[in-house]
Structure 1
Amino acid sequence: MNANYTLRDEIRDYWSARAATFDEQVGHEIFSEGEREAWRALFLRHLGPGEGRRALDLASGTGVISHLLHGLGFDVTGLDWSEAMLKQARMKAARTGADIRFVMGDAERTLEAPGSYDVLVTRHLVWTLVDPKAAFREWHSLLRPGGRLLVVDGDSVSDTLARRMIRLVERLVPGLAGAPHAPSAMRETHERILKRVYFSNGARAQEVASLLRDAGFAQTAIDRNLKPIHREQAKNLPLLKGLERATQHRYAVVAVKASA
């Protein structure tokens, strides 16, 4: 492999390769109004209504979260470093007539102006970070005083009792888990990346919150009540996949920048 080809490059290319089918998967796209309402409730609980405030959707992918924020009245920018993802996001915004700004950028080094956003949101990004300490400092700098960061993530790495039981049932009754999310080559790439990122042992809520405080956030709070979202997602998942999702360590962390 090219010595100049970094882990960041591999992560970018992995998600670019998945862009065309990204919205086909539960947990990426939203497939019911019930799930959409559950996401809105989460955002309203921690961010409040948009009212024209500026929001940055970090690692926006195909723009699913950007559209949710836009629907709540935020002035939204979606940032992603995969051109393939941005192409999908821009086409989706054009179809719906949503006035969302999509820009190319690395979520760990955004190049956005300091103090230019009221709200930052990330979904399923933190576990991929190479240097979360630097990323969290960057995100803190992007917020205005009193601004809020909402991290939605989880630990799908740790081997829990529930996961071991699910694997046993799957061996006894093949097919209950449904088809894998990605072809085997993609899964191998995913596993290779996972071994090298900061949270290779799983992104746990307490550690994420602690790192956010170290980065300068004045206060943090952990919200583990994502069950309304997971219940709706489970309706579109095979039985074992739905059970696994419900038993994983998934959470939201809200972090607030001190007021001036």
Structure 2
Amino acid sequence: MNEASNYSLRDEIKEYWSMRAATFDEQPGHEIFSETERAAWHALFERHIGKGNGRRALDLASGTAVISHLMHDLEFAVTGLDWSETMLEKARAKSKQRGSNIQFLLGDAENTLEPDNSYDVIVTRHLVWTLVDPAAAFVEWFRVLKPGGKLLVVDGDFVSSTWASKLNKAMADVMQSLGLRKAAEVAPQMKTHRDILARVHFSGGARSDEVSAMLRQTGFDPITVDFDLKQIHSAQKKHISFAKGLERGAQHRYAICAQKPIS
């Protein structure tokens, strides 16, 4: 893919997420809808990166600051970075309302412009699967981390079909054939999403083994892959339909903790 087409795709992605900002916090899986889910996220973070104790944390593609505030709860000194000013406006308003001291920066997660060795922790949620050039992004994140610092990637394969997605489609087809349900129209927003997805690096799905291999090639070591996200998903299922809950539970979702060696 040449530089011009990369730039065009990045612009499209930025515009898409800016468009999504207005309703982003309305969806389970984006905003936190219960204290049970909040506690589950805290437990995941503490399991891999511990308490903050004032350590510096960078939340990449921070959006409306959901993850930033979870990190702030754990007493990290948090900086949220996002390239959508629309998202950042909502994030700053939320931070002001909650009285948090999170710093927000406008910037590209694949080229942060942050100083070398400046953060103890970097956290990303559902960012890696959208990256245009993940190999370059991982090199950038390695550079920004302090020696001994940790990267926590929470992501998944949201593309590949699962038994649950196939079952839901089959049920929908049956209901449609019986006249019990109209054919679903694909919204323009979803068409844009699919068009962008077809051109990012992980267009076939961001599998944990491939992501881990790329992180290891970058120089991260050790690397731990954690598939135990059931407490988070269980809390989210209470706020979505049964069919969507099945699909979410069947997807390949994970957290990867990768450390920058001390020397």
**TM-score interval w.r.t. the shorter chain?**
over 0.9
2:202 aligned to which of 194, 199, 203? 199
* 1:54 counterpart = 2:56: yes
* Paired amino acid for 1:133: A
**RMSD between aligned alpha carbons?**
1.8
Helix, strand or coil: the match of 2:122?
strand
Superposition deviation, residue 183 in structure 1? 7.3
2-side partners of 1:169 and 1:60: how far apart? Answer: 36
- Corresponding residue of 2:174: 172
- Corresponding residue of 1:246: 249
1-side partners of 2:236 and 2:186: how far apart? Answer: 22
2:216 aligned to which of 193, 213, 217? 213
Helix, strand or coil: the match of 1:259?
coil
- Corresponding residue of 2:68: 66
1:156 aligned to which of 141, 155, 158? 158
1:13 aligned to which of 6, 12, 15? 15
TM-score, normalised relative to structure 1 = 0.94
* Paired amino acid for 2:192: T
Superposition deviation, residue 141 in structure 1? 0.6
Helix, strand or coil: the match of 1:211?
helix
2-side partners of 1:67 and 1:169: how far apart? Answer: 39
1:228 aligned to which of 222, 227, 231? 231
Helix, strand or coil: the match of 2:47?
helix
* Paired amino acid for 2:71: L
* Superposed structure 1 runs of 4+ greater than 3 Å apart: none
1:87-106 alignment to 2 at 5 Å?
87-106=89-108
* 1:189 counterpart = 2:187: no
2:259 aligned to which of 247, 256, 259? 256
Post-superposition Cα deviations, 1:165-198, rounded to whole Å, max 9, x if no partner, equal 1211233347x9xxx9x97111000000000000
Helix, strand or coil: the match of 2:141?
helix
Helix, strand or coil: the match of 1:115?
coil
2:81–2:107 Cα contact (<8 Å) kept: yes
Helix, strand or coil: the match of 1:9?
helix
2-side partners of 1:122 and 1:54: how far apart? Answer: 14
* Paired amino acid for 2:20: R
2:156–2:254 Cα contact (<8 Å) kept: yes
- Corresponding residue of 1:137: 139
Helix, strand or coil: the match of 2:71?
helix
2-side partners of 1:160 and 1:43: how far apart? Answer: 27
Aligned length: 254
Helix, strand or coil: the match of 1:6?
helix
Unmatched 5+ residue regions in structure 2?
A: none
* Paired amino acid for 1:13: E
* Paired amino acid for 1:79: L
Unmatched 5+ residue regions in structure 1?
A: none
2:82 aligned to which of 71, 76, 80? 80
Provide the identity percentage. 60
2:24 aligned to which of 22, 25, 29? 22
2:163–2:250 Cα contact (<8 Å) kept: no
Superposition deviation, residue 122 in structure 1? 0.2
2:162–2:247 Cα contact (<8 Å) kept: no
